[in-house]
């Protein structure tokens, strides 16, 4: 269960967390409501650059890297809102070439945007000045908008660029942060213009991150004989190397391999070891000298996709008081990190999970498809190579899909499914079960909310696996 924490008690990235973004899942866990749409603004910088062999350097471009990262089926991030991602370029320049007029144009683009979540890639040189200037120009205009600036050290074209992970962190921040303007620094910290000069103090406030590795595709390499990714225990971790070598987060990082294997081969003995390891880390260990080692309550768990939800549920069901006091984010990937951070979902998912682990209240969360799930109502959808929310029945899922296509993201609708089902008669709900797939689809996406009875055919739908 997530516990309420007052703003005065929050430190590190958590002091920017928006408690109102949470909704109660069926298990009782408070999970962030999924966002429905997003605007991505290209404001230049290394994060949106290409390698130019003519002068052995990088060139800022208008290429929509990050829209493609979210929507390209080959990269598997594929959020629910992928059809509602808006992209625009305001300035494709190095940060040293950004002018006052460019900043004015950026402020105007934010003002006229109809989206509540706006993610802006930019150069990190003089980022404090950009943050301050934007704040002044937008004062009073972003009371409901979450504007996140971010950048990277390396071009996304490089195999193990930090850009996809930093983008993932920015998207997580856009989902979790209070309305206003923040910058996600490439070192894992977040700040506002007012806090920029106190980043060193913020680092001391943060209690670090522990990465407890369970393996899976994210840690794999291609096995031609098996025509799949294979994970080998005991060798260097791709995730650890990526975080330490490319992301260089300033939070104290502890890495531990629990076991690295295909998650289909995991059993409860390994899951029990994971629970015990988290519990020990939270409470700290007293050394022979009587000194307690530094502990953390922020955990990121790389895992295979097949049984990640099962492991997350095991953690929830077997947690002791120490585990219940920790924020645990499990992540996986459909494409190995060894293939390159931008060539799949691994880099994005690592950054997303790292940021979420330093912002969320205590609880066990599953991060996938640019969203945070309650493990009790989540499973992998094998046919679509993504995760699904099982809290809804077949007919409720249809109503849910219809609802998110009928309501603008800015409307404060807490539970669209319950609201619409509440307006329907039992007969109408029953009829949904007997629609053929085409009639069901037509009704679900009909903005006129037509009566489903007329389209119903008395043939039960095949239950979802």
Q: Pick the most confident of 216-225, 327-336, 433-442.
A: 327-336
Residue range 373-386: average pLDDT? 84
Structure-block tokens of residue 70: 């979210």
The structural domains of the chain, ordered by start, are 7-197 (3.40.50.1170), 207-388 (3.40.50.1170), 394-455 (no CATH)
Whole-number Å distance between alpha carbons of 230 and 246: 23
Of the pLDDT bands very low, low, confident and very high (cuts 50, 70, 90), residue 410 is very low
What radius of gyration do the chain's Cα atoms show? Answer: 22
Range with the lowest mean pLDDT among 106-110, 204-208, 212-216, 346-350?
Answer: 204-208
Instruction: Give SS3 for 216.
Output: coil
Is residue 220 within 8 A of residue 210, CB to CB? The reply is no
Residues with Cβ < 8 Å from 257, sequence gap 6 or more?
213, 233, 234, 237
**318 — pLDDT class (breaks 50, 70, 90):** very high
Residue 404 confidence class, pLDDT cut points 50, 70, 90: very low
* Nearest partner of 205 among 358, 6, 364, 355, judged by Cα: 358
Q: Which is more confidently placed, 364 or 34?
A: 364
Q: At what angle do helices 437-444 and 394-404 cross, to 10 degrees?
A: 40
Q: Is the pLDDT of residue 84 over 50?
A: yes
Residues in the chain: 465
Q: What is the pLDDT of residue 358?
A: 92
Cα 65 from Cα 343, distance rounded (Å): 11
pLDDT at 418 over 80: no
Residue 459 has pLDDT above 50, yes or no: no
The pairing of strands 117-122 and 38-43 is parallel
pLDDT-wise least confident of 90-99, 114-123, 222-231, 233-242: 222-231
Confidence of residue 206 (pLDDT cuts 50, 70, 90): low
Percentage, residues of the chain above pLDDT 90? 46
Q: Which residue has the higher pLDDT, 194 or 334?
A: 334
Q: Is the pLDDT of residue 203 over 50?
A: yes
Per-residue pLDDT band at 397 (split at 50, 70, 90): low
Pairwise CA distance, residues 146 & 238, whole Å: 32
CA 440 to chain centre: 31
Write the Ramachandran bin of 12: left for phi over 0, alpha for psi from -120 to 50, otherwise beta: left
At 408, the pLDDT band (50, 70, 90 cuts) reads very low
Residue 23 has pLDDT above 70, yes or no: yes
């Amino acid at each position: 269960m997530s516990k309420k924490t007052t703003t005065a008690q929050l430190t590190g990235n958590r002091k920017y967390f928006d408690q109102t973004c949470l909704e109660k899942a069926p298990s009782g866990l408070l999970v962030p409501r999924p966002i429905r749409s997003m605007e991505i603004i290209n404001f230049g910088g290394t994060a949106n650059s290409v390698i130019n062999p003519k002068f052995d350097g990088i060139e800022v471009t208008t290429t929509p890297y990050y829209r493609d990262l979210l929507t390209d089926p080959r990269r598997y991030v594929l959020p629910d809102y992928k059809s509602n991602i808006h992209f625009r370029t305001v300035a494709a320049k190095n940060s040293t070439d950004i002018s006052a007029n460019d900043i004015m144009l950026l402020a105007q683009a934010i003002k006229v945007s109809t989206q509540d979540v706006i993610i802006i890639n930019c150069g990190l040189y003089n980022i404090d000045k950009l943050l301050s200037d934007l704040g002044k120009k937008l004062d009073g205009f972003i009371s409901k908008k979450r504007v996140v600036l971010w950048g990277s050290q390396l071009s996304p074209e490089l195999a193990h660029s930090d850009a996809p992970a930093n983008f993932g962190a920015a998207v997580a921040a856009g989902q979790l942060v209070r309305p206003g303007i923040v910058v996600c620094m490439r070192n894992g910290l977040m700040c506002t213009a007012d806090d920029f000069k106190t980043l060193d103090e913020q680092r001391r406030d943060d209690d670090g991150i522990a990465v407890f590795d369970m393996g899976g595709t994210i840690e794999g390499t291609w096995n031609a004989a098996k025509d799949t990714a294979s994970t080998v225990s005991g060798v260097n971790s791709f995730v650890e190397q990526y975080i330490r070598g490319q992301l260089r987060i300033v939070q104290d990082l502890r890495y531990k391999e629990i076991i690295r294997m295909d998650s289909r081969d995991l059993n409860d003995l390994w899951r029990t070891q994971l629970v015990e390891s988290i519990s020990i880390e939270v409470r700290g260990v007293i050394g022979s000298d009587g000194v307690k080692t530094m502990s953390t309550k922020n955990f990121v768990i790389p895992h295979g996709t097949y049984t990640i939800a099962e492991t997350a549920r095991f953690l929830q069901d077997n947690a002791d008081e120490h585990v219940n006091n920790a924020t645990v984010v499990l992540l996986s990937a459909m494409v190995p990190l060894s293939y390159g951070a931008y060539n799949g979902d691994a880099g994005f998912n690592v950054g997303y999970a790292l940021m979420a682990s330093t912002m969320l209240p205590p609880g066990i969360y599953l991060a996938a498809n640019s969203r945070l799930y309650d493990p009790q109502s989540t499973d992998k959808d094998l046919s679509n190579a993504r995760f699904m929310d099982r809290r809804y029945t077949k007919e409720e899922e249809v109503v849910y899909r219809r609802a998110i296509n009928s309501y603008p993201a800015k409307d404060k609708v807490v539970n669209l499914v319950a609201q619409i089902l509440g307006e329907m008669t039992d007969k109408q709900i029953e009829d949904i079960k007997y629609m053929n797939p085409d009639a069901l689809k037509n009704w679900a996406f009909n903005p006129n909310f037509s009566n489903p009875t007329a389209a119903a055919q008395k043939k039960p739908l095949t239950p979802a696996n």
